[in-house]
Amino acid sequence: MSTEEEKILKDNKVIAVVGLSSNPERPSYRVASYMKEKGYTVIPVNPNEKVVLGEACYPDLSSIPGHVDVVDIFRKSEDCPPIAREAVKIGADVVWMQEGVVSEEAATCARDAGLKVVMDKCIKKEHEKLGGR
């Protein structure tokens, strides 16, 4: 793992998971559940859910009270640019696009605003590479 992902995981503890599902079979649920178990604050973002993992679910990033460190995106690649713009608007520090999610437009938008960007990597797998610490 590059030191960039390691630094992000060590320095950022509040993760908004965009597209988080309440279905335990979904990758978003398994990843968010793992990150919560490891001590991260997980904020569900999904307009179709009310509560996920015991946490209030927000319809969008702008509805979240307080600071978000990492915006973790579990959506189709084409849905990422507006999410990245919203991440910039709320003052997030990192845009993390999950494994299989690639959007150069979203990455450029976030980087141009000074955010760190991780693309096409699973936050859970990257954390596990650190020994789950």
Is it the case that residue 1 has pLDDT exceeding 80? Answer: no
Average pLDDT, integer, range 116-125: 97
10 Å CB burial of residue 25 (0-12, 13-18, 19+) is exposed
Query: What pLDDT digit, counting tens, does each position of 83-119 carry?
Result: 999 999 999 999 999 999 999 999 999 999 999 999 9
The structural domains of the chain, ordered by start, are: 3-129 (3.40.50.720)
CA distance 15 to 67: 10
Residue 54 carries which DSSP code? T
Is it the case that residue 60 has pLDDT exceeding 60? Answer: yes
**pTM of this structure:** 0.96
